[in-house]
Amino acid sequence: MKHAPEPLSFEKSRSGVAPPRLPEAGVPSRATVPDHHRRRRAPELPRLSEPELLRHYSRLAALNFSISEHFYPLGSCTMKYNPVANEEAARLPGFAQLHPYQEEASIQGALELMWRLEQALCAIVGVDRVTLQPAAGAHGEWTALRMIQAFFESRGEERPEVIVPDSAHGTNPASAAMCGFSVVQVRSGADGRVDVADLHSKLSARTAALMLTNPNTLGLFEKEILAMAAAVHAVGAKLYYDGANLNALMGICRPGDMGFDAVHLNLHKTFTTPHGGGGPGAGPVGVKVDLAPFLPRPTVEAEGGGYRFDFDRPLSIGRVRSFYGNFGMLVRAYAYILAMGSDGLAQASQDAVLAANYLRKRVEHLLHLPYAGYCMHEFVASAGRVADGRVRALDIAKGLLERGIHAPTVYFPLIVPEALMIEPTETESKATLDTFVETLVEIVELANSDPAALRGEPRSLPISRLDEVAAARQPVLRWSPTLDSGENAAADRSSPQGAPRQPQAVPAPTA
């Protein structure tokens, strides 16, 4: 049984408690911050005693629905176990206490780790160089597309289009649009794979790239990948690999060998670094040699027995992240790769595919599987036929949460109605997979016998059903603290005292 919802620390704040004491600033703020930018009063930080604050955060932590507590078959997200050994490596003082402005001579170990991680990732995906800067997968997509754009600009070629399958991750068209490309959609065929004839009709001298994930979001291997790569290259375009689904392929085959020119990886999926509360992630990008001059700078180079940053890269698209990326994540990923070795990585992918197929086979009498046959590391089922349509995928997702299992990804990919996208990963035992199936049996039985009861779940979690429609139509984006009646409030005459504690409803922005 979970705790009741925990109030905000601001709501628990008591005026009788002394305000928090902040350490002295490390920089002379008076000298560097112009007068009109300096605040007139101390920030309204919550006033809580240390034990109250500790309990507040401990309760919040207990409200988490996390991989450390629950099975988390969230398709496309590869929610695998985050090894504790990775954390120990990242906390080694030589890594954890580095300052980004240290001299190169004093950070040789960190540079060596970055260089060796680049070599390892190059070997795993079959590319020539890798940048470790991007902070997440979508950031990696954008970085790769920006490099492809710079490549064509350097050759004086105008190529304004990027082709994206209709089953693609939503970030693909978004990254292309952010980069200034227009997005051209290519259809999936009846077998759930890219319709190669449709692809041919969309490819032209205007095409900059085809963005593809393989296996695709249905968990199906794109068997025509070599023919597609040839077609893309025949019109002079580049082939981009969305690495979200690499967990099916490590040590078995390589995107670079399939003809991909640029590849992003999610260290927080495939390489066991934590997803955290949405971050920090790490989305390195690998490229073949002709895109390498456009890599973000600096790169890390090995030279004369040591390592150095190389800023002298005139064709670089520039820095895409402050300093050198989410370095702690790089340490964790490298620790994982070393611990696994090449055989271990291949075994991980094989086990991930085995686990997904085991689950797929065991749920086929419960859910509709629109695409027949073996899957790779994940599969997509439809809840559209459960209880003759009296419940939705959302209801099944909520039923799983009620029973201590994180919901699969729902309503994605868009080409499957009432989709449930299930990815167990290799780090779960058969016993856990069996519990998932038994739980799903229980939910489907409830859906048949009493669909209204299922639609009322979850009941034991601190938050029940959210009003998603009202949340989207009238999002509440601001919370205003009640101003304390003490000296701080008096110092700011422009703010109303005793402002109500209710959140302010802010209408959704219109385009």
Partner 1 sequence: MAQRYYTETHEWIDLEGDIATIGITDFAQAQLGDVVFLELPPTGKTLAKGDAFGVVESVKAASDLYAPVAGTVLEVNKALTDSPESVNQDPYGAGWLMRVRVEGDVGSGLLDEAGYRAVSEQAH
Of 1 and 469, which has the nearer Cβ to partner 1?
469
Residue 97 binding partner 1, by CB under 8 A:
no
Residue 293 binding partner 1, by CB under 8 A:
no
Place of tokens 């800023």: 311
Q: Which two tokens stand for residue 424?
A: 């167990």
Of 293 and 417, which has the nearer Cβ to partner 1?
417
- The closest of 125, 367, 137, 144 to 255, measured between CA atoms, is 125
Q: How many residues lie near partner 1 (CB under 8 A)?
A: 10
483 Cβ contact partners less than 8 Å away, ≥ 6 residues apart = 44, 489, 492, 495, 496, 497, 498, 499
Instruction: Candidates 305, 468, 493, 500: give the one binding partner 1 (CB under 8 A).
Output: 468
Instruction: Candidates 4, 18, 31, 508: give the one binding partner 1 (CB under 8 A).
Output: 508
Residue 312 binding partner 1, by CB under 8 A:
no
Residue 10 binding partner 1, by CB under 8 A:
no
Residue 190 binding partner 1, by CB under 8 A:
no
Amino acid at 130: V
CA distances 331 to 89, 132, 161, 338, 389, Å, are: 7, 11, 37, 11, 48
In whole angstroms, give the CA distance from residue 132 to residue 281.
11
| Residue 438 burial (CB count, 10 A) | 12
In whole angstroms, give the CA distance from residue 480 to residue 469.
23
Of 385 and 459, which has the nearer Cβ to partner 1?
385
Least CB distance from residue 392 to partner 1, whole Å? 9
Instruction: Candidates 411, 456, 458, 492: give the one binding partner 1 (CB under 8 A).
Output: 411
Residue 511 binding partner 1, by CB under 8 A:
yes
Binding span for partner 1 by CB under 8 A among 29-37, 137-145, 273-281, 468-476: 468-476
In whole angstroms, give the CA distance from residue 458 to residue 407.
12
Of 83 and 384, which has the nearer Cβ to partner 1?
384
Are 89 and 110 contacting, i.e. CB atoms less than 8 angstroms apart? Answer: no
Of 117 and 176, which has the nearer Cβ to partner 1?
176
Instruction: Candidates 51, 472, 493, 494: give the one binding partner 1 (CB under 8 A).
Output: 472
Partner residues linked to 292 by β-bridges: none
Of 105 and 472, which has the nearer Cβ to partner 1?
472
Q: DSSP label at 416?
A: S
Q: Which two tokens stand for residue 484?
A: 């304390």
Least CB distance from residue 508 to partner 1, whole Å? 6
- What are the residues binding partner 1 (CB under 8 A)? 411, 414, 417, 468-469, 472-473, 508, 510-511
